[in-house]
Structure 1
Amino acid sequence: MEFCQKLRGQLSEFFFMNYPYIAFYSGMGMAVTAYLHYQWKMHHYDLMYWKHLAEALSQDFDYFQLAMLLVIFAINAIFVSIILSVYLRPALDNNGEMSLLEIKDRYARFILLRLIARLDRIQSKISAKRKVLTFSHYARAHTNMVKAVAMFRKDARKLILPNESEILMPIEDIYGVAEDEERLLRRSGYYKLIIDTTDETVKALFNAK
């Protein structure tokens, strides 16, 4: 069971980090498949036809031209890979390492959006049961809200008042983000919200009465 969970986590991480490349090459594969299917439907060109065509062309084919075509194709593939890596992946500085400001901003955004998502879910459950609400429903919702706020305050404290042991830790360990929860928040659309992640905002919410 542990192996299956680890494998699933690795696959999920692989697809999350490489989805632009997977989407591009999957699209290319679908385009080629669609073309072959069209030729078979319209002209009855099956795979044997393409095999015989390739054999006929190979007899009189100029291998120098083939080599040039392969070189051009390789250059185009590299060019497309560079475009995808630059424009479809998050920009990272310092050889792939995020700056202190970026790490703290990501952490602040995560804990704020996680709080919003949890409060939103609690409110949605209350709204769904509005016709049969009882005191126990309100009490449970209040308890869950208190837990969500307490978790936010616990995490926000590290941004506002880090203790001595935390200051000596690597910055990635202090402000680490649960990537599975972050992906879930992205899929749920919460990362589309425009929020203020400055220290003043976090401090105001941390000290809210």
Structure 2
Amino acid sequence: MNLVRIMRVLVHEFFYQHYPFISVLCSLVALATAYLHYEWKVHNYDLMSWKRLSEACCSATDVDYFQLCVLLTILLINVLFVSLIVATYLHPLGPRDTELTLLEIKDRYARFILLRLIARLDRIQSKLSAKRKSLSLHHYTRAHNSMVKAVAVFRKDARKLLLPNESEIMQPIEDIYGVADDEERALRREGYFKLPIDTTDATVKSLFAAAK
């Protein structure tokens, strides 16, 4: 069972990290399949026809090298164009707007602390539901203490988002609003990132004030 879980996590991480290349490759395969299907439907070109065509091209002696060079040049230009698009998509060429980058970092941080709070409260509720037939005062006390700790962690992190002090302002933005990658991946695996939540400062501020 652990092996299946490990394999599922590895596959998930592979697709999460390499999805641009996988999407481009799948698109190329789909286009090639569509073209072969079109040729088969319209011109009755099956696999044997393509095989005979390739053999005829390989055995031909009167090859027009000028046309061949032109075709290869066009193919090279197309390959470079697609590579440029993929490279630009993965690594933007120009410097991005500083304010937009700051907003993205803060939005990721806000989403993380909100989803982490939801996940922790959800786990506490799940534990209580699993023991609903044998619940005692001790279970409720432990659940209450766990909720208090989860809320305290949220308030500590939300305070940096809403009211950063002077020493935090002087630090790099990535250090102030850093997100633990392992916790973020765990939240993604558990499906919490699919929840539609509001990550604006107003929402965080209202929860920060309500969680006193």
For the pair 1:94 / 2:92, whether they are aligned, the reply is no
Secondary structure of 1:194's counterpart equals: coil
Aligned to 2:40: none
Structure whose CA Rg is larger = 2
2:141 equivalent in structure 1: 139
Write out aligned runs for 1:40-189 (5 A).
Answer: 57-60=57-60, 67-80=69-82, 94-95=95-96, 99-189=101-191
How far apart, in 1, do the equivalents of 2:134 and 2:69 lie? 74
Q: Report what 2:22 is aligned to.
A: 22
Using the alignment, how far apart are the partners of 1:206 and 1:159 within structure 2? Answer: 10
Structure 2 letter corresponding to 1:148: A
Q: In the TM superposition, what is the alpha-carbon distance from 1:122 to its structure 2 partner?
A: 1.6
Residues 69 and 183 of structure 1, relative CA distance in 2, 3 Å threshold? farther
Question: Alpha-carbon deviation of 1:180?
Answer: 2.6
CA drift at 1:66: 5.1
Q: Is the 8 A contact 1:93 1:99 kept in 2?
A: no
Aligned length: 186
Q: Which amino acid aligns with 2:146?
A: N
Aligned-partner SS, 1:148: helix
Q: 2:43 is matched with which residue? A: none
CA apart distance, 1:70: 4.5
Cα distance change on mapping 1:17 and 1:85 into 2, 3 Å:
farther
Q: TM-score w.r.t. structure 1 length?
A: 0.66
Runs (5+) with no aligned partner, structure 1: 1-10, 36-42
- TM-score, with structure 2 as normaliser: 0.65
Name the CA shift for 1:164/1:25 in 2 (closer, same or farther; >3 Å).
same
Aligned counterparts of 1:106 and 1:93: Cα–Cα separation in 2: 22
SS where residue 207 of structure 1 aligns?
helix
Which whole-Å deviations, capped at 9, do the CAs of 1:47-70 have from their partners, x for residues lacking one? Answer: xxx7x9967643326555555554
Change over 3 Å in CA distance of 1:133–1:22 after alignment to 2: same
**1:93 & 1:189 partners in 2: Cα distance?**
34
**CA-atom RMSD in angstroms:** 3.9
Q: Following TM superposition, by how much is the alpha carbon of 1:151 offset from its aligned partner in structure 2, in angstroms?
A: 1.1
Unmatched 5+ stretches in structure 2: 1-10, 37-45
Distance 1:92 1:171 in 2: 22
How far apart, in 1, do the equivalents of 2:88 and 2:129 lie?
Answer: 43
